[in-house]
Amino acid sequence: MSKGYWVSVYPAITDPEGLDAYNQLARLAVKAAGGRTFARGGSRVVAHEAGIAERVVLIEFDSFDQAVAAYESAAYQEALAALPDGFKRDFRIVEGLD
């Protein structure tokens, strides 16, 4: 069974404090769903081509279906509701090669 990954790239963060409520709720939701965070931050990013050198988050789940279910969970939907107005990110769920 192939692993599933959440990949988030934040083009710009104009209100980092505004993300605090989302971050707290999302962290709990991801952990409850069995996700493991491999990268979170933006202090050391090298962007190439059309890349964005802002915050990047990479979370692994045991399966693609588990990653989708985690996103659709009530706990994560509550976290999404806490995102500040006007907030933008590029979020994807991708299937691993294994």
Q: What pLDDT, in 10s, does the model give residues 41-68?
A: 767 778 888 777 778 899 999 999 999 9
Q: What is the pLDDT of residue 86?
A: 73
Looking at residue 52, its pLDDT comes to: 74
3-class DSSP state of 72? helix
Q: Helix (H, G, I), strand (E, B), or coil: what is residue 56? A: strand
pLDDT attached to residue 26: 95
71: which residues sit within 8 A by CB, 6+ positions away? Answer: 6, 93
pLDDT tens for 6-53 read: 999 888 777 788 888 999 999 999 999 999 999 987 677 788 887 777
Q: Domains along the chain?
A: 4-95 (3.30.70.100)
Q: Are 19 and 88 in contact (CB under 8 A)?
A: no
